Chain A
Amino acid sequence: MEFLEYFPNVFEPWNFLILCGGTIGGLILGATPGLSPTMAVALLIPFTFRMDPTASLILLGAVYTATVAGGAVSAILVNIPGAPANIATVMDGHPMANQGRATEALHYCFISSFVGGVLGVLLLIFFTPVLAEFALNFGPAELFWVAILGVTVIGSLGSGSVVKGLFAGAFGLWISMIGYSPVLGVERFVFSEHLGGGINIIAALIGLFAIPQVLGMMETAKRGGKAEMFDMENHSVLASIKYNLSRVKALVIGSVTGIIVGIIPGAGGQIAGLIAYDQTKKLSRNSDEFGKGQPDGVIAAESANNSMVGPSLVPLLTLSVPGSPTAAVLLGGLLINGLFPGPDLFTIHAEVTWTFIDSLLVAQLLMLLFGLYISRYSRFVTRIPKFYMAAAVTILAVVGTYSVQNSLSDVIVMLTLGTAMYFATKVGFSPAPVVLGIILGPIAEDNFLQGMLIGESMDGVGPYFFTGTINMALIAFCVVSVGYSIYSELRSAARARAGK
C-alpha cells in the first residue's frame, strides 16, 4: 500500500493549489471548442518547466483528467465535441440539451466521469508497479523493441491509415536524430543553423498539436456563427447522483471498456467512448431511444473516456509506450523533468510518482465537485469566438516555446513543423505518431547501438535482437498491431464499397 504513504503530499498547500487550478483550468480548456486535451497539455508544459517535478506532473495530470471531462460541455451544449474522446457524448448529450435537460446531461457527464475515472486510476495504482517490476528484465534489445512497439502501435492503431501512421512514426524517429548523436557525438542533418541543437521535444509537441488547430480555426473563423444559448434548467444534483448510480449496466460497460481500451497503447479515448456507447445501445432494452436523448448514452460514453485516463498511463509509466496521444505528450513532461519510465519511477522517484498517481485520484473528486458547480455557467465558455482562440493559442505557442530554452530557433522549428503538419493532416497524416517518434527516437537509437555492440561481442547482432521470450513477444505485438490495423482498414474499405 505504498500509494497511501505518499497520499498526504497531495494535500500540501502548493500541490493542492496546483491540483485545484489544473482541474478548474482543465475543465474550462476542455469545454472550449477547438482546444483538445493533447494541445492543452502540450501548451502547459512550458509553464511547468521551472516547477518542481511533483507539482509539474500534478498540474499536467489534473489538466489531462479535467479536459477529457470538460470536453463533454461543448459536446452537450454546442454539438461540437470538446475533444475527440467526447464524440460519442454528442449523440445523446445534445438531444438532451435540446429537450431542456442540459443541466441534467452535464450532471450525468461529471458523475459518470468520476466513477469511470476512479476505477481507471485504481487500476493504475495496483497494476503499474507489477508491470514496472517486470520491466527490470529488459535489456537494450527489449528496450529497442519497446520503443519500436510504441511507434508501431500508435502509428497503426491511432491513425486513419496504417501506412501513413507508420510513415509519420518513422518520420518522427528520423527527425529526432537531427543534431548531435548522443552516443558518438557526430553532427547529423544540420541543414540550417536553427537545427544545430536538434529538434526540441517541447517545440515539436506544441508545433505539431497547436499550429494545425490554429490554422484550422482560421479556416472557419470568418464564418462566425453563434452557439445556441440554452436556458440551463434547475436540476437537483442529488437526484442526478441517485439516477446515475442506478444505471449500473451503462456505468459498468463504459468503465470496463475504457479500462481495456486505455491499457492498449495508442488506442485513445474516442475509441473507448464509441465502443462503450455502441455496446450499451446494443444491450439496452430501449435501444431505439439512443440518439434521441437517452441518458445511458451519455453515462456510458463519459464513464468510458475518463476511465481510459488512468490505464493509458500504465504502459507509459512502465514501458514508455503511451496509451493515448495525450499520454504521449505527458511522456514529454516526464522526460523534461528527468524522469524516465520504468522501475526507477517506483524506486528512486517513488515520492514524485506516487504523489502524481495519488493526485489523479483526488483530481477525479475535484473534477466532480467543480464540474457540478460550474455546470450552470459552462454555457459562457462555449461562446469564446474562434478568432480570439486562434490569436491566443498562436501567442501562447510562441511564448511557451521560446521560454523553454530562450531560443528563437525553437520558435522557428515549432512554426515550421506545425505548418507542415497542417498540410500533412489534409492528406490524412496524424501528429501523434510523429510526436511519439521524436520522443522515442533517442531511446530506440541508444538501445539499438548498445544492442549492436553487445550482439557483436556475443552470438551476433541478429540473435541478440531476434531471440528471447520478451523480444519475440514484443515483435509479435508489433506485427499483430500492424496486421490487425491493415485487416480493419481493408474491412472498412470493403464495407464502404458494399455501401456504395
Chain B
Amino acid sequence: MNTNLTTPIAVLAVSAAMYAASASGDGGGFEFPTLIALIMCALGAGMLIHALGPGRRSSGKRSGSVPWGSILPGLALFVAYLFLMGWLGFFVTSFLVFVVIALLYAPGSPTAPAIARTAGVAGVFTATLYGVFVLLLQVQFPQGLLF
C-alpha cells in the first residue's frame, strides 16, 4: 500500500474507534469526548483526502522508515524490564537493563574490559538513583527476590 495512504487510514481507524467508544457511553460525561472524537474523524478524513489528492503529497515532515533491527531488541528490553522488576527487584533489574542496553548498542563486539567498565558505570548510576529515590525521597520500590 502507498505509504502516504497508510497514515491517514490508520488515523481514521483510531478516530473511528475513539468515536465508537465515546458514542456508546451511557449517561453524562461522554459529550465532550464524543465531540473531540468527531473532530478527530474530520481531521483524519482531511488527511485521507489530502493523500488521495493530485500528486499524493505527504503532509508534514517525514523522518524515514523504522530500523526494526535496531529497535526491536530495545522494545523487547522494555517488556523484559516490566516483567523482571517485580520478580528480581527494581534496582537489580535496572542495573541489568542498563548493562544490556549499553552492551547491545555499543559499537563493535563486547570485550571483557568493556563489560567491566559498563558494569561499573551501571553500578554507580543505579546506586545514585537508589540514594536519591530510596534514601532521600523515601520512595518504596517493588522488592522482588533481591532489591
Nearest CB in chain B: distance from A172 CB, A:
10
Residues from chain B with Cβ under 8 Å of A223 in the complex: 107
Bound complex: CA of A219 vs CA of B75, how far in Å? 12
Interface residues of B in 98-128 (CB under 8 A from A): 98-99, 101-108, 121-122, 125-126
Query: Among A104-112, A116-124, A268-276, A397-405, which stretch is in contact with chain B?
Result: A397-405
Nearest CB in chain B: distance from A97 CB, A:
24
Instruction: Out of A171, A394, A408, A411, name the residue touching B40 (CB < 8 Å).
Output: A171
On whether the beta carbons of B44 and A167 are closer than 8 Å, the reply is yes
On whether the beta carbons of B47 and A392 are closer than 8 Å, the reply is no
In this complex, how many residues of chain A approach chain B with their Cβ under 8 Å: the count is 65
Interface residues of A in 423-444 (CB under 8 A from B): 423, 425-429, 444
- Given A171-B40, A392-B98, A415-B78, CB of A221 within 8 Å of CB of B60: no
Instruction: Out of B37, B66, B125, name the residue touching A392 (CB < 8 Å).
Output: B125
Nearest CB in chain A: distance from B138 CB, A:
8
A387 within 8 A of B: yes
On whether the beta carbons of A215 and B71 are closer than 8 Å, the reply is yes
On whether the beta carbons of B21 and A189 are closer than 8 Å, the reply is yes
Residue of A nearest to B108 (CB): A224
Residues from chain B with Cβ under 8 Å of A385 in the complex: 106
Bound complex: CA of A419 vs CA of B78, how far in Å? 10
On whether the beta carbons of B101 and A394 are closer than 8 Å, the reply is yes
- Given A222-B70, A391-B102, CB of A428 within 8 Å of CB of B40: no
Interface residues of B in 22-37 (CB under 8 A from A): 22, 25, 27-33, 36-37
Residue of B nearest to A218 (CB): B74
A467 within 8 A of B: no
Bound complex: CA of A214 vs CA of B58, how far in Å? 26
On whether the beta carbons of A411 and B60 are closer than 8 Å, the reply is no
Nearest CB in chain B: distance from A307 CB, A:
27
Nearest CB in chain B: distance from A394 CB, A:
6
On whether the beta carbons of A408 and B102 are closer than 8 Å, the reply is no
Residues from chain A with Cβ under 8 Å of B97 in the complex: 391, 394-395
Residue of A nearest to B18 (CB): A174
Bound complex: CA of A159 vs CA of B60, how far in Å? 8
Majority SS of interface residues in chain A? helix
Complex interface bits, A483-499 against B, C-beta within 8 A gives 1, otherwise 0: 00000010001000000
On whether the beta carbons of A177 and B32 are closer than 8 Å, the reply is yes
In this complex, how many residues of chain B approach chain A with their Cβ under 8 Å: the count is 73
B86 within 8 A of A: yes
- Given A399-B129, A412-B82, CB of A163 within 8 Å of CB of B50: yes
B141 within 8 A of A: yes
A448 within 8 A of B: yes
On whether the beta carbons of A445 and B121 are closer than 8 Å, the reply is no
Bound complex: CA of A161 vs CA of B142, how far in Å? 42
Residues from chain A with Cβ under 8 Å of B40 in the complex: 167, 170-171, 174
On whether the beta carbons of B29 and A427 are closer than 8 Å, the reply is no
On whether the beta carbons of A387 and B98 are closer than 8 Å, the reply is no
On whether the beta carbons of A215 and B129 are closer than 8 Å, the reply is no
Nearest CB in chain A: distance from B9 CB, A:
12
Residues from chain A with Cβ under 8 Å of B106 in the complex: 221-222, 224, 385, 387
A21 within 8 A of B: no
On whether the beta carbons of B82 and A188 are closer than 8 Å, the reply is no
Bound complex: CA of A161 vs CA of B43, how far in Å? 12
On whether the beta carbons of B129 and A396 are closer than 8 Å, the reply is yes
Residues from chain B with Cβ under 8 Å of A189 in the complex: 21-22, 33
A388 within 8 A of B: yes
Residues from chain B with Cβ under 8 Å of A166 in the complex: 43
Residues from chain A with Cβ under 8 Å of B57 in the complex: 493
Bound complex: CA of A493 vs CA of B53, how far in Å? 14
Bound complex: CA of A218 vs CA of B44, how far in Å? 31
- Given A223-B107, A445-B32, CB of A167 within 8 Å of CB of B43: yes
Query: Among A66-74, A179-187, A230-238, A341-349, which stretch is in contact with chain B?
Result: A179-187
Complex interface bits, B72-109 against A, C-beta within 8 A gives 1, otherwise 0: 01110110011001100010001001110111111110
On whether the beta carbons of A184 and B28 are closer than 8 Å, the reply is yes
A390 within 8 A of B: yes
- Given A387-B106, A427-B62, CB of A399 within 8 Å of CB of B133: yes
On whether the beta carbons of A403 and B139 are closer than 8 Å, the reply is yes
Bound complex: CA of A449 vs CA of B138, how far in Å? 39
On whether the beta carbons of B129 and A395 are closer than 8 Å, the reply is yes
Nearest CB in chain B: distance from A405 CB, A:
10
On whether the beta carbons of B125 and A395 are closer than 8 Å, the reply is yes
Residue of B nearest to A449 (CB): B32
Residue of A nearest to B74 (CB): A218
B137 within 8 A of A: yes
Nearest CB in chain B: distance from A165 CB, A:
8
Nearest CB in chain B: distance from A270 CB, A:
13
Residues from chain A with Cβ under 8 Å of B37 in the complex: 174
Nearest CB in chain B: distance from A451 CB, A:
11
- Given A50-B137, A218-B71, A423-B66, CB of A170 within 8 Å of CB of B39: yes
- Among A218, A223, A408, residue most surrounded by chain B Cβ atoms (within 10 Å): A218
Residue of B nearest to A496 (CB): B57
Bound complex: CA of A201 vs CA of B127, how far in Å? 27
Complex interface bits, A8-28 against B, C-beta within 8 A gives 1, otherwise 0: 000000000000000000000
Nearest CB in chain B: distance from A150 CB, A:
14
Nearest CB in chain B: distance from A9 CB, A:
23
On whether the beta carbons of A221 and B105 are closer than 8 Å, the reply is yes
- Given A395-B94, A449-B32, CB of A215 within 8 Å of CB of B44: no
- What are 24 A-to-B residue pairs whose CB atoms are below 8 Å? A49-B137, A163-B50, A163-B60, A171-B14, A174-B36, A174-B37, A184-B28, A186-B28, A218-B70, A387-B101, A390-B74, A391-B105, A395-B125, A399-B90, A399-B141, A406-B139, A408-B82, A425-B63, A426-B63, A426-B64, A426-B65, A427-B62, A428-B58, A428-B62
The 3 A-B pairs at the shortest CB distance, nearest first, are namely: A161-B60, A224-B107, A428-B60
